Amino acid sequence: MAVLVLGFGPWSERTVLATSAAAEASRAAVIALSVEAGSTVVAEMAENFGLSDDEVRIGWCGTPPAASGGGECSFGRGGFVEAVVEVWVPLINTPWGSIGGVWVSRSHVENIDVYRSLG
């Protein structure tokens, strides 16, 4: 029971991070018309949470999340940009490191405004 209680905090925190990072990434990509802008937002959010690059993955527009953050989106008028963010959640944290873990995945789809797009 104690392990479940102690594991809930990191799981909850990182689930919220994945949810907000996906929303912010897709919005930044739509505003800048570039997935690189969204990837930068996710990297900054992960750094602010003290996570390394191998603990956060991002995928774009149907491309599965990868450690390097890839994928291409079409930024045509009225289109959609989907960001899928995965965050590593350790199952048990000890003073000597974490034991086990799972990837928490969240996605967000943002509509490209007809007047914002170039294509």
Domain boundaries, the chain: 2-111
Report pLDDT digits (tens) over 13-63.
899 999 999 999 999 999 998 899 999 999 999 999 999 888 999 999 988
59-118 pLDDT tens trace: 999 888 875 555 678 888 888 999 999 999 987 766 787 778 889 999 999 998 877 645
Query: What is the dihedral angle through the alpha carbons of 60, 15, 78, 114, rounded to the nearest 10 degrees?
Result: -120
> pTM of the prediction?
0.83
* Token digits of residue 2: 């104690």
Q: Do 61 and 71 contact (CB within 8 A), yes or no? A: yes
The residue with tokens 């994945």 is 18
